[in-house]
Structure 1
């Protein structure tokens, strides 16, 4: 405002000078036309620099007003995005509560099913006992004709009790069918919630992209502000106001980033990080782990109880395990045959809590063995995905404890201790080699065996992990 008043006063002064010069020129020009032309030229040379200066001032004022409008528009956009993220956060909370409710219903349904199954088993045992009694009575009828009437009475009573038991079994079966239908409906609801969860994730990604765009706009405003700083000392007060607005915008942007992080943490709670929540339902399930996001794993509940993640599987020799570092880092293979989950996934999963390693071994002669290690962990890539196993127990001698604390080796990353050869290149497979020993589970399938004091030729190997705290022995 001070600058505008100053420019207005200066404009009036120039106009007065111009009018005085013109009037003087007119009086002089009445005497001589040549003098009149000279006077006009002189006046034009005098006034022109001042008029150019006023044009420059006017342009700077227009530019300053345009910047203020842009900043106000950015602030309004930021407020709208803030309210939108708040609504998304509230939706996340409602969906999480609804999902917990569905989980509780599924658990209650399973308990009811178990009770019904116990009743059915009890009824079947009673029926079997009654049938045994009937057989004994029939044998007694063949031996003693005098007791026929008494046996017939007993048979009638037994038949009536059997009919009642059959009716009870039918009622229990109908209840079991209803419970199964309820479980199916709950499973469909869980699937729908997962689809809705993916939609919310997409909306969250859009919000993040909008925030990045606003950050770029703020950086642009800062650069324009720096230009204004260099052009004039008189704009300092206006620049302070703009800087305050920028600081407010940055504060709001920081709050939005925190809210996005909170939304992401709430989203992470909806998806499990291990196979434990899937209980007795093995197969391929989706997990989420910080640093990786969503990915599929194979859950196993048959070999050693529920809740195990299969991290490596050799069941037919259909996969080539002679892979480079990048492939072992990412993982490869098919859950239906041979596969390796991936070193980075193993590092991220085992960094969450303490895990146990269970190794299932099936020999070619039909025997089966197992080996357990109570503190399985993989370090990060900077430390070579080093192996930690912990204490051993099992139905076979310890075959891989020899590789404790060793880094992973592939044909393009030699981390073993053998100075003469790269063990991964020699055995055509990646592993946590120390020296080129024989007992590693990624080698060529036809030559796969477990070794300590003697060789055990293997036809099937599975490596599984589960949180140590939840383990039931």
Structure 2
């Protein structure tokens, strides 16, 4: 609008200038007619641009009016759209409020969902535990079903037994009636027999007197038998002692013959042994003893072959003597251990022997019986090893050098009764190790008391 007003003012100013120019031109033309055509031509040249301009301005005014109409139309459309935008905004605000409400509901729903999920997890855990219980109960149910079948079969058997018992009862009832009839008959017979019994009692009294005399005679006979048995045992002992003087090969198998005794074994001749008839019964030869620890068992092969030590303390009888004795018949081995706390342990093998020197005096044991573990079994079939004769399975070391004693080493041992006092002198038991303070190894013929 301002541009249109400005154009109108400018048009008025141009018209005034045109009028002045025309007036001036008329005066000029009146003064000089000759110049009229020139004036006209000049006026035409002067006015033509203005007319063109006026046309242009009028066209612009017409266009501006058209534009104003368009603008008014646009303004009306704009107002409608504005109102529409307001309505949309109001709708949007309502929807935003609804969205917030829905959002709150969603959050609440998520919280409720989380609670439900927790409940579901708890339910799943309970279901799993119930499944496990159900599995256990199903297992128990199967067991109960098996037991029920067994009970049913037993019940059927019992029903059959009851039927049989019922039949037996009927039979017994009939039999009882028969017996009652017989009893009545027997009573009369018993009365008759009572009279006979009274007659017999007098005869029995006389027989009792005779039986007392017979018992006294039996006692006298038993005393004579005991005397004869004692005399027979004494004769057996005398015969054994006579035989042992000629060729004794083991300790006496009866009586209290503890102490030093002389044996005569083929290949060696006469030599002394220590007999023990108190520790495990009669007839035992002590082949090894450890007491007070004053005897060294770290000896060479020749010394172990011959034997060493004193019967009053520690000693080893000798590998060759043990071989010769155990080769005569079957011997058993008895091992007696006393630990530092005073507890005693006993071990027995029923077929003990060692081979000859050419085979390294290899160890054989037989069956085991004892109050501790069979730890000497680890050494069975092993040759004897000393620091100068390495017969063990350890390729890197000599077990006799390592443990300072001769023994039937494997790699190296689970029992070593010849080692110096300390951790090497031991017997491995289940879950513990026994460290003996006293050791005795004894042998005697198997089943010696039966001979």
Q: Which has the larger radius of gyration?
A: 2
TM-score by length of 1: 0.43
TM-score by length of 2: 0.45
